[in-house]
Structure 1
Amino acid sequence: MTLEQIRIILVEPAGPLNVGAVARVMKNMGLSQLVLVNPQCDPWGEEARRMAVHGDDVLAQARQVESLPEALQGCYHAVATTGREGTVPLPLETPRVVFPWLRAQNAPSAVIFGREDSGLTNQELHYAQRCVSIPANPVYPSLNLAQAVAVCAYELYQTTPEDLPPALRPTTAPLETLEGYYQHLEQVLLQIGYLYPHTAGAKMEKFRRLYGRADLTPQEVALLRGILRQMTWFVQQAKKEV
């Protein structure tokens, strides 16, 4: 994978200086795709452009979208970043462990960064297959958004072809295909009574982790959705016979 295939996603960034600084460090490290999810500032204003310096072309071509699923459209793999511990639904790994794996995937991928004050929610973390936490001094481990992007961008840039393990599944299903399956699965499991509305969220988190580890292909997702369609048909036939 080339660095041009990796997009940096900022979820609801609040500081234009941070956005500009992110564009600058992306230029430094050979990254060019910046996606802004519902920014809470003017990402193309004077402050952002001043901080971007020679990364102004990265900033100028940044895309703005309304939601994280929209930002991830076309991606096959995603890594989420967080500074939280304990309540995070995915195992925390270091950039040096995860990014060689990401670079080894021969498909468009993303690294997701959260809000300056609160990071990513657990629901947003579930859109990724792996979760990165940057090792830092435990006395004060919190990093500024632009600093966190800089560390991750550096690790991505420093990963050389010799470091890359063989791609495990070069035909992994796109993330939007998986999301469609998760929505379908939840609908059917509610219909047959396996899930209940008040516990569906927690159960679906476990399914997402399970399938995230499986690295499903498009054909495997289609197979699973075929099972769901057959289950729906069977339930409908059973109701007619009652």
Structure 2
Amino acid sequence: MSPEPVPLRAPVRRADRARQVADVLRQQIHANAFERALPSEQELAAEFAVSRNTVRDALALLKDEGLIERAPKIGTHVAQRKYDHGLDALLGLKETLRGHGEVRNEVRAARRVLPPPAVARRLCLEPGEQAVYVERLRYLGDLPLSLDLTYLVPDIGDEVITRDLESNDVFALIEQISGGPLGSADLALEAITADAHSAMTLQMPEGGALLLLERLTRLEDGRPVDLEYIRMRGDRITMRGSLIRPPERAEGPDAGTDWRLT
């Protein structure tokens, strides 16, 4: 019996091709592949083997994101760039953006609070034990980048809020106070939209893209000391990291069955 013929796949729609082109150009913009001007529509069409109409659709997507500006007889130029924030090293924002400009902090709150029970459990606090709450709006130069809500264990937090929070990362202060290095952190990253208050605080449109980073940080001995909820502007921050495939995943298609969606 002859095998069943393999059905032909549907042709790729122009919108799909435009999205593919936009994804590559977006990465190139973030990687500083273009000094200012992007190649012409004709050059891009030849590079990606698509029509100029597809290129125009791709550039329209990037323009809507605010990444590029377009004008007749002037061409297409980069409007703004994002800053890389690593996911494979435990660094504060000041350390992460070293070389890009001055990171400064507007301290909006620094006080002892009775934390929510879920926070107390993450920090291994006793029932009724207080934590230290710190809220900071963080700038790169005059650009607001993130709104950080931080809960600290009291013995370290009490010392942290007596130090210079306006110009230091909390991580650096914790290490100074504890006398040892931070060890590890658990983190979760998700995309959310900016509520009215966050949007106003971060000077961005309501409903705009935010990256919400939840991070529980421990000292080298494993003690949890810092739980943060960090709202980062999605239009100015790109998360990057280097990943290694675990050996058990490379053994074959049946290796491991614990993939999960959350």
- The TM tier, using the shorter chain, reads under 0.3
Structure-2-length-normalised TM-score: 0.21
Which structure has more strand as a fraction of its residues?
Answer: 2
Higher relative contact order (CA 8 A, sep 6+): 1
Which structure has more helix as a fraction of its residues?
Answer: 1
Structure-1-length-normalised TM-score: 0.22
Bigger radius of gyration = 2
